[in-house]
Amino acid sequence: MHRIGATEAVFRRLKELIQSGEYAVGDRLPAELALAQQFGVSRPVVREALHACATLGLTETHTGRGTFVVSKKESPQLTFAGVDAADLIEARQLIEIPTAGFAAQRRTPDQLRRLFELLGKLAGATDAREWVRYDGELHTAIAAASGNRMLTAVVADTRRALDPQSEFLNLTQDRRADSDREHEAIVRAIEAGSPEAARQAMADHLQRVADTIARIGE
């Protein structure tokens, strides 16, 4: 199992243990090292899985005291860096879809080369955080290719909330392979110089992200 698959597996098992009541509300979870030994993974994998549980509102970690179960039910409203996930999707649809169309019209050869370079880096990323970094760079590079500095600044600013969201979805919902294919479709449409295709590819990508978020907690 590669790093992303291992984290997803540990996350799902922890969620099962909490929701089944084996770890009851108020219980302190075993320490990271003990969980790593129990699941046969590294401590960073356990740490990422625990962070995903906290994002869903199942656990809370208190420095010096440990991680405690606070709910058996997943939070119906996900937030990332203080931003509601639904608000984030709505804003992205308003900003990034037209931005992709402008990029198809205005991108330079150097900017197009950069987009394909980032696709390669995404495909070759060896861990979740590295992938998330390149994901942010790709979306920002698409905005830069639009030639609109205001749009570029807005897209770059959204990464404060988008980076933790991307990491969460890839670790818990196995979104990485699908995202890579969706990103390539966007870049290919930009390469083809088709604003309509670029807007549609970006719209499809954002809708799949929205659908994934909507399924969490069902």
Q: What is the pLDDT of residues 15-62, one digit of tens each?
A: 999 999 999 999 999 999 999 999 999 998 898 889 888 888 899 988
Rounded to an integer, what distance in angstroms lies between the CA atom of residue 186 and that of residue 163?
19
pLDDT of residue 64: 87
Of 143 and 49, the structure prediction assigns the larger pLDDT to 143
pLDDT band at 2 (very low <50, low <70, confident <90, very high): very low
For all residues of the chain together, what is the average pLDDT?
90
Q: What number of other Cβ atoms are within 10 A of residue 20's Cβ?
A: 10
- What's the number of CA atoms in the CB half-sphere (13 Å) around residue 41? 22
pLDDT of residue 75: 72
